[in-house]
Chains A and B, each alone.
Chain A
């Protein structure tokens, strides 16, 4: 009401002046970008870093359409990437330092026994629709995440020692989280758990419709979040447009409210090559998830953009054999092959015969690192440096095979064939995803490496979904080459891969009890580190896990690509990190050097 009156008053006085200056006004705005000032009552987070200029429209391509904007059901990478820019969490992991930082929670305290966490929320915060945030929203959020009927993927992390975390409200700003057992993840737990607006969602939750809510086509006024951007427009098959959240709770050191950019546009561009073309033609401003070959193409023809190699990422590529215990369903052919696959010496021999250095050099053009364990050199805090980086050795591979009872027979043309103890030739096929040229290339190198050991290997490129179906459902395959990317540096992000009951325990997923002694030991160690507070203790346990994996080679780790990204020269504060969402982790600080010129583009 007061605002309106003020407007008319000013209107009357200035209308003549305004008309006179109307034609100069746009110029004036361009010359003096007006940052949004902040209110002293708000408890805002001040980010260090370069001071930017407001305005502009940042365009980035997305591999696929986000399936949902609902953080409770999002499982695909595009959805997670979009939601990351729209939602806020209590405690956040800084993607550059890989350490936790206060976010919506101003501070937290962990009790002496590690069982009780007291979090204090910032004062005066508002959702993107202007509704204030308080402890009730947090209570509601955790109730929803823990609700079994919602099937939130984050739920597993909130169950400690078989019991869900208990959340209590002390006052509007303070909450206590109670654990049944000490929890090794500590405050990292809160990263990525988007705090939900109770005022918008409670009704649907009570009606049991929450999981279906918030698709990309949701009207923007039915949506609210605590991230730097809020929903503006969605055009199916083309783009998702986010606009600046005027209530965002971060400022720069000069007190300007972040984010700097007015609009964030996600274009849906399915193929990696098409993304490169869009970036090259200037249609998109930032490109991430680049392959090494496209990176060097862009690097060679630089036209107004800079390319950055952020260093080794967390993706690990590996070969694994079908070690599933299929009982009667097993075909005779696979039974025979599993006799080799189950022998650790066979797997060690394959590992010894693989030329990892060539993979890094030829597949990643040197922009990657060879791997002997699942933790990449990019993950400096958790990698076990003691794991031997044994170079390729055909002699050792042959010695191991001989020990395991294999022998060679040579054909007339000089090629030798590896035979098992029953005199059968060693032949198997490797599945790869046909859409991933890098992995198909790796498989072709493996094929040649193993041929030199006398194994006859066929490479079978398969469409990704049918490949996953074969590996996890029908289990009709010999071996498979895949890659996984941990979303966090913490070992718990890969819990599902190492626990024998995990669905991503690829070589033998979802076992009711561990099939081998070493799998049982990994299970024990992983569960132990989950309940152990303190980095040193947990590191010791996880180091042992890495040792067991390197020894038994259920996965033959091959190589890890660097995180490669590029951005237009005009974009400042561009510092891609090796953690998802690579270039967008500091999206609130990105800005255009030439200010608002981009807004009119």
Chain B
């Protein structure tokens, strides 16, 4: 009884996280590409409820920062002027989920800029960039997983169901795919493409590449499942009644593979998010000024950033809850299918 609840818990968690990223325009206070050239590498600001004199404020507020005297990168709060935060305000225009135009933002600071997670070298808000960057990274992961599973399911089912030379051919191809050094091939591929690719083209390229690379593992897995399922009595019976191959695959075999596919999806999505981050980190993902979790981390390749601005690591932390969510979901799914199999066995074995 507790198991389905566990599954639902993980699902709810994931839905919440994804909604935050999907609603980045609402949760992010600023446009992610807007530069504030007076505030490069600004440290994260603290939100206060109690001011310097010990008075409790109704509204949360923050103190603007200024350079500490005699220093060029140490900031201190100017406690003389508290800037209150306002909620559900109108700010820069964005499109919710890419369609709905809106100007509503979760919070705003009366025209002053607040950097909850600091700013980058160009004075762009790190929080907004992480939220919008998540859209790119997560979407690439989800679409990549969808492409992979589709390819993997088609190839794996074909190989398992038809067997013979087709099986041999497809499985050897799968092994070849597993053996290729993908990262280096990608660098080579990038050299053949036109110099400047638009952000959309770059995104599609990343998704296609990630999707194409990953199909071999699910295909092999599905082939195994299909191999056992196709020998089951109800499949044989259906075939005996003259069912066509397509009908058998669709009606009897595919449903049997659903649990494996779902578990695979839950494992692949975070893997592919990480793959997108790797590509962007190396400069093969979406170009500046667009952000993705990978190219947000790319600035850490510089030693000076690495040792000076700790908030530049934050995008790496952003993926942690998503990974936890997906991996939790995967294990819950696995446990559920395990149970299902057990029940199946216990109810069927006596006969």
A-to-B contact residues, CB < 8 Å: 273, 276-277, 291, 293-294, 296-297, 300, 355, 358, 361-362, 365-366, 413-414, 429, 431, 434, 437, 441, 444-445, 447-448, 458-462, 476-478
CA distance A448 to B289 in the complex (A): 9
Among B23-54, those with CB < 8 Å from A are 33, 35, 37, 40
Which residue of A300, A437, A460 contacts B196 across the interface (Cβ within 8 Å)? A460
The answer on a CB contact under 8 Å between A447 and B37 is: no
Residue B122 is within 8 A (CB to CB) of chain A in the complex: yes
The answer on a CB contact under 8 Å between B302 and A273 is: yes
The answer on a CB contact under 8 Å between A362 and B121 is: yes
CA distance A460 to B287 in the complex (A): 8
Instruction: Give 19 new A-B contacts, CB below 8 A, not counting A273-B302, A296-B304.
Output: A276-B304, A294-B303, A296-B72, A362-B37, A362-B121, A366-B72, A414-B93, A441-B121, A444-B289, A445-B35, A445-B122, A447-B289, A448-B35, A458-B287, A459-B287, A460-B195, A460-B287, A462-B195, A478-B196
Residue pairs across A and B with Cβ atoms less than 8 A apart, 13 shown, are A293-B305, A294-B303, A296-B72, A362-B123, A413-B101, A429-B195, A429-B196, A441-B122, A444-B289, A448-B122, A448-B289, A458-B197, A459-B288
CB B212 to nearest CB in A, in angstroms, measures 24
The answer on a CB contact under 8 Å between A431 and B195 is: yes
The answer on a CB contact under 8 Å between B303 and A296 is: no
- CB-CB under 8 A from A437, the residues of chain B are 302
The answer on a CB contact under 8 Å between B37 and A294 is: no
- CB-CB under 8 A from A362, the residues of chain B are 37, 40, 121-123
Number of chain B residues whose Cβ lies closer than 8 Å to a Cβ of chain A: 25
Residue B307 is within 8 A (CB to CB) of chain A in the complex: yes
Residue B349 is within 8 A (CB to CB) of chain A in the complex: no
CB A96 to nearest CB in B, in angstroms, measures 27
CA distance A444 to B303 in the complex (A): 20
CA distance A114 to B307 in the complex (A): 57
- CB-CB under 8 A from B305, the residues of chain A are 293
Among B9-35, those with CB < 8 Å from A are 33, 35
CB B155 to nearest CB in A, in angstroms, measures 36
CB B196 to nearest CB in A, in angstroms, measures 4
CB A370 to nearest CB in B, in angstroms, measures 14
CA distance A357 to B227 in the complex (A): 68
B74 closest partner in A (C-beta): A300
Residue B163 is within 8 A (CB to CB) of chain A in the complex: no
CB B73 to nearest CB in A, in angstroms, measures 7
CB B133 to nearest CB in A, in angstroms, measures 16
CB A322 to nearest CB in B, in angstroms, measures 12
Known: A296-B72, A414-B93. A444 touches B304 (CB 8 A): no
CB A338 to nearest CB in B, in angstroms, measures 16
CA distance A600 to B198 in the complex (A): 58
Residue of B101, B121, B123 with highest tally of chain A CB at under 10 A: B121
CA distance A460 to B288 in the complex (A): 9
CA distance A420 to B74 in the complex (A): 46
- CB-CB under 8 A from B122, the residues of chain A are 362, 441, 444-445, 448
CA distance A429 to B33 in the complex (A): 18
CA distance A325 to B198 in the complex (A): 27
CA distance A434 to B288 in the complex (A): 13
Known: A273-B303, A414-B93, A460-B195. A297 touches B40 (CB 8 A): no
Residue B4 is within 8 A (CB to CB) of chain A in the complex: no
The answer on a CB contact under 8 Å between B283 and A297 is: no
The answer on a CB contact under 8 Å between A297 and B33 is: no
CA distance A366 to B37 in the complex (A): 13
Residue B244 is within 8 A (CB to CB) of chain A in the complex: no
- CB-CB under 8 A from A413, the residues of chain B are 93, 101
- CB-CB under 8 A from A366, the residues of chain B are 72
B196 closest partner in A (C-beta): A429
- CB-CB under 8 A from B283, the residues of chain A are 434, 461
- CB-CB under 8 A from A361, the residues of chain B are 37
The answer on a CB contact under 8 Å between B288 and A365 is: no
CB B336 to nearest CB in A, in angstroms, measures 45
- CB-CB under 8 A from B72, the residues of chain A are 296, 365-366
The answer on a CB contact under 8 Å between A477 and B40 is: no
A440 closest partner in B (C-beta): B288
A443 closest partner in B (C-beta): B288
- CB-CB under 8 A from A291, the residues of chain B are 304
Residue B2 is within 8 A (CB to CB) of chain A in the complex: no
CA distance A453 to B33 in the complex (A): 16
CB A97 to nearest CB in B, in angstroms, measures 31
The answer on a CB contact under 8 Å between B288 and A477 is: no
CA distance A300 to B307 in the complex (A): 11
A428 closest partner in B (C-beta): B196
The answer on a CB contact under 8 Å between B198 and A277 is: no
CA distance A478 to B40 in the complex (A): 29
Across the A-B interface, the 4 shortest Cβ-Cβ residue pairs: A429-B196, A293-B304, A273-B303, A458-B196
- CB-CB under 8 A from A461, the residues of chain B are 283
CA distance A191 to B233 in the complex (A): 94
CA distance A477 to B194 in the complex (A): 11
CA distance A276 to B302 in the complex (A): 11
CB A464 to nearest CB in B, in angstroms, measures 14
CB A439 to nearest CB in B, in angstroms, measures 13
CB A566 to nearest CB in B, in angstroms, measures 14
A301 closest partner in B (C-beta): B307
CA distance A297 to B72 in the complex (A): 11
The answer on a CB contact under 8 Å between B302 and A293 is: yes
- CB-CB under 8 A from A459, the residues of chain B are 287-288
- CB-CB under 8 A from B81, the residues of chain A are none
Residue B58 is within 8 A (CB to CB) of chain A in the complex: no
CA distance A31 to B278 in the complex (A): 58
Known: A441-B121, A458-B198, A460-B195. A297 touches B307 (CB 8 A): yes
Residue B308 is within 8 A (CB to CB) of chain A in the complex: yes
The answer on a CB contact under 8 Å between B37 and A355 is: yes
- CB-CB under 8 A from B93, the residues of chain A are 413-414
CA distance A253 to B18 in the complex (A): 75
CA distance A276 to B37 in the complex (A): 27
- CB-CB under 8 A from A444, the residues of chain B are 122, 288-289
CA distance A297 to B73 in the complex (A): 10
